[in-house]
Amino acid sequence: MFFAFSGKPTRIRCQSRKIASIFAFATCGGFKGKTEIQVSCPKTPENRTITAAFGYPFRLNQVAFQAPPGVNVCDVEWRDHVLIGDYSSSAQFYVTFAVFVFLYCMAALLLYLGYTSLYRDSRKLTMTDFVITLVATFLWLVSTSAWAKALTDIKIATGPNIVRELGPCNQRVTCHFGSVTSMGSLNVSVIFGFLNMILWGGNAWFVYKETSLHSPSNTSASHGQGGVPPPSGI
């Protein structure tokens, strides 16, 4: 990914992927939100609000509703009622992969800056670089697609449909969906996931051109003549 090029363009491509990976895991891993439901008791016309606070890694089935401190809302133990779904596998896969990509970018950039000539002269490293780039592109596609599907389900699980799933709301109390925290940052995380896939996929072509798969004869001649390619037409 980074080893096949020299000079400023390589560092720019390296920095762009590093920054994109930071935005990917930060916008997902740093999210915190809550969903609110307005509850009306049969004996009192006043509405009360119960809240379920959720966030990364989105184990919603462990998130209980909470009444205001010191307030008995309709004689219901709301802590016994939770949101629905566990989306931690998709979220953690996406964030963990993005963090590994960031760490790889940092290490690769440091190695590149310190040992440029070594990577320039090594055919095995350029081939390894090409394989890693292809694998990373594929994993960005898989992890982002899985996270996008999980995000859709999270929006449903924390939206108005939650009222129908709460037992007390279907029996003795009246419930109305109040609000849910905007998930704009999570939408951005999906966008950055696909952006990372495009960046890595586009870079695969440039890395491929530096491997022996693209021009084996020229590569062999270059190594046999001290790294100087043969003149055009020979």
User: What pLDDT score was predicted for residue 94?
Assistant: 98
Q: What is the pLDDT of residues 170-218, one digit of tens each?
A: 777 888 999 999 999 999 999 999 999 999 998 888 777 777 666 654 4
pTM above 0.95, yes or no: no
Between 5-14, 164-173, 176-185, 223-232, the lowest mean confidence (pLDDT) is in 223-232
| Helices 123-157, 88-114: crossing angle, 10 deg rounding | 150
Longest dimension (CA), the chain: 95
Mean pLDDT for 149-178 is: 90
- Cα–Cα distance for residue pair 140/162, rounded to 1 Å: 31
Q: CA 40 to CA 3: how far, in whole Å?
A: 64
Q: Give helix then strand counts, H and E, for the chain.
A: 7, 3
pLDDT at 119 (0 to 100): 60
Highest mean pLDDT among 8-17, 113-122, 190-199: 190-199
Who contacts 33 (Cβ-Cβ below 8 Å, separation ≥6)?
Answer: 53, 54, 55, 158, 180, 181, 182, 183
User: What percent of the chain clears pLDDT 90, i.e. is strictly above it?
Assistant: 49
